[in-house]
């Protein structure tokens, strides 16, 4: 089965999973998932499974990426903060949907690889940073949308505080992997937040602080 056929099958599977936003589906269709995986796992690129990318991190299932992106409801002119760049797959999807993406990754080698992939795809509306994503990016706030691709033990107040009025954050929350929920948090006024619980997930944890020094590959 060639890549085009696998991509079509993936899009049909996502529709069956309840992903109906045509902009999200089109963005996913245009991002070659195999680019964002180690060679060992390329043959599974279009399966609906999470796959390891090194440094204890994973590339989320396509259905999780699609559902979280749909829940984020990204306007075309949005300024988006992503916490947890990983290999850059979710970043690439967001870049297809928004005006500008600011993305933070604590593992320098992962960020370096993501930067190379985004450049190869000519996605130049992305600004990257290596650092502690739990603190967000205060100097670039406020953001219209915030997405967190790792699980916080509780709704992260520093990130919610960086939302613009009317802004939306989608974040997995839960101390144990078996007890994590995706939350959608909407800032309705300067100090007013509306929280919805969406569905159950399993993510690697959001870790505060800088990662140990790591060499680039």
Annotated active-site positions, please?
60
Dihedral pair phi/psi, residue 98, rounded to 5°: -125, 175
Token pair 């949308």 in the structure block, residue: 145
DSSP character string of 67-128: HHHHHH---TT-EEEEE--TTSHHHHHHHHHSSEEEEEES-HHHHHHHHHHHHHTT--SEEE
Q: In what order do the strands lie in the sheet with 192-201?
A: 126-130, 100-105, 79-83, 143-148, 163-173, 180-189, 192-201
By DSSP bridging, strand 143-148 and strand 79-83 are parallel
Comparing C-alpha atoms, which of 85, 82, 84, 124 is closest to residue 102? 82
Q: Taking phi first (over 0 means left), then psi (-120 to 50 degrees means alpha), and beta for anything else, what does residue 191 get? A: alpha
For residues 37 and 55, give the distance between their C-alpha atoms in angstroms, rounded to a whole number.
Answer: 13
- Mapped onto helix, strand or coil, the DSSP state of residue 138 is helix
For residue 64 the two structure tokens come to 């999780």
């Amino acid at each position: 089965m060639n890549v085009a056929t696998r991509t079509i099958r993936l899009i049909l599977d996502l529709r069956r999973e309840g992903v109906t936003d045509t902009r999200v589906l089109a963005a996913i269709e245009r991002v070659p998932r195999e680019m964002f995986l180690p060679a060992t796992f390329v043959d599974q690129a279009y399966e609906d499974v999470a796959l390891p990318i090194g440094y204890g991190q994973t590339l989320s299932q396509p259905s999780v990426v699609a559902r979280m992106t749909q829940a984020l409801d990204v306007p075309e002119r949005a300024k988006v903060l992503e916490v947890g760049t990983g290999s850059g797959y979710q970043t690439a999807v967001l870049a297809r949907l928004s005006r500008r993406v600011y993305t933070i990754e604590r593992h320098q080698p992962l960020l370096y690889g993501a930067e190379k992939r985004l450049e190869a795809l000519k996605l130049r509306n992305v600004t990257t940073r290596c650092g502690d994503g739990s603190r967000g990016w205060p100097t670039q706030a406020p953001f219209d949308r915030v997405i967190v691709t790792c699980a916080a033990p509780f709704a992260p107040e520093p990130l919610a505080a960086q939302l613009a009025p009317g802004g939306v954050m989608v974040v997995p929350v839960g101390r144990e992997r078996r007890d994590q929920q995706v939350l959608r948090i909407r800032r309705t006024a300067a100090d007013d937040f509306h929280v919805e619980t969406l569905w159950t997930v399993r993510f690697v944890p959001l870790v505060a602080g800088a990662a140990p020094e790591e060499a680039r590959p």
